Amino acid sequence: MLVEISIIVIAAFIVILVIGLLVLAYQLRKTAREAEKFIETARQHIAPLSHDMAIIVNDSKRIVSSAKGQVEKIEKGVDAIRDTAINLKNFEMDLQERIEKPFIESISYIMASIKVIYSAISLFKGKKEK
């Protein structure tokens, strides 16, 4: 009778562990998809940002070489820098939003799985000593 109960308890822990591992695998897959989306978004944003920076540098060179009538171009350059800074800030916030939450959830699932395993080991160690 005691052996059968032990086998049932072990089987229940294995089922819980497998379910936990499946949830962890799903969360890791979801995190990988979000990372892939982020990489694609980053790739799309890098070219326009570098293009904007190249335009700003070229405008700055023209301003230095020709001081006449360049006040408007300086304002455009400042607006472009401000817009680029805003775009970078939005990009950073988007990155944090897309990666941070799934990463924290994955870590939570890993820690929960480790705690379940540790509890199972502690439970079996306690039964062996009796």
Give the other-Cβ count within 10 Å of 77's Cβ: 19
pTM summary value = 0.39
Report d(CA 119, CA 111) in Å as an integer.
12
The domain in which residue 16 lies consists of 2-129
Q: What is the pLDDT of residues 86-98, one digit of tens each?
A: 888 888 888 778 8
Q: What is the pLDDT of residues 96-120, one digit of tens each?
A: 788 888 888 888 888 888 888 888 8
For residues 24 and 109, is the Cβ–Cβ distance under 8 A?
yes
| Number of domains into which the chain is organized | 1
